[in-house]
Amino acid sequence: MNPPWQRIDLPGADLAWQPQWLTGDEADAVLASLRHAIPWEVHRIRLFGRELPAPRLSCWIGDPGADYTYSRTRFAPRPWPEQLAALRTRVETACDTRFNSVLANFYRDGNDSMGWHSDDEPELGARPVIASLSLGSERCFRLRRKLPRGVRATMNDTLRLCLPHGSLLYMAGETQRHYRHDLPKTRGTVAARLNLTFRWVHPSGD
């Protein structure tokens, strides 16, 4: 039986998490398996009008037809590795929802990162449910309220969550409409981190 969800109080968002969704031994085994089972690649992103390599390794995985457009690039899904397909079923049960795709990101060290963004692409729908499983080194995940143009964010507008090995974060409702999130670079020696964000992609016209 999974531990109960812990609600995260953030105005205008639907957030909850389980800091120890996987036991230490389970998380170790999943990390070791998926690290080699996923066909990692470097995705290209557009930043300030230029196309650059993303500062991490990634792979878009999903059911046939679960294509996804990010940073003006359309990704056709890779097939589910057996280990990841079994994990999807467990995440669906924990979140009481269905997922047909997952974005896998591998952060090799503290220099790898993810910039500010929202998971609000049209194919995810108006109120997407996203389940984020963290494996490996603990990293700081931040959510920042979207503010009107010209208004500077303050510390009160940003929530910081340190996501431990085996933790599962649930984001739903209006979270993506009201907030952006990132995973900043970190100083010092940091081991690798693998993150899986499970989603439901709506086929064209659905």
- Provide the pLDDT for residue 6: 97
- Provide the pLDDT for residue 72: 75
At residue 49, does pLDDT exceed 70?
A: no
Q: What is the Cα gyration radius of the chain?
A: 16
By the 8 A CB rule, do 51 and 40 touch?
A: no
* Enclosing H/E stretch for 16: strand 14-18
Give residue-wise pLDDT tens across range 133-184. 999 999 999 999 998 887 777 667 799 999 999 999 999 999 999 999 999 9
- Give the pTM: 0.93
Give residue-wise pLDDT tens across range 53-80. 889 999 999 999 999 987 778 889 999 9
- Provide the pLDDT for residue 18: 97
- Provide the pLDDT for residue 133: 98
- Provide the pLDDT for residue 156: 72
Percentage of the chain lying above the pLDDT 90 cut:
79
- Which of 54, 30, 63, 38 is closest to 134 using CA atoms? 30
Q: Tell me the DSSP string of 178-205.
A: HEEEEE----S----EEEEEEE-PPPTT
Specify the CATH number of the domain 13-199.
2.60.120.590
Per-residue burial over 50-69, b if 16 or more Cβ lie within 10 Å, else e, is eeeebbbbbbbbbeeebbbe
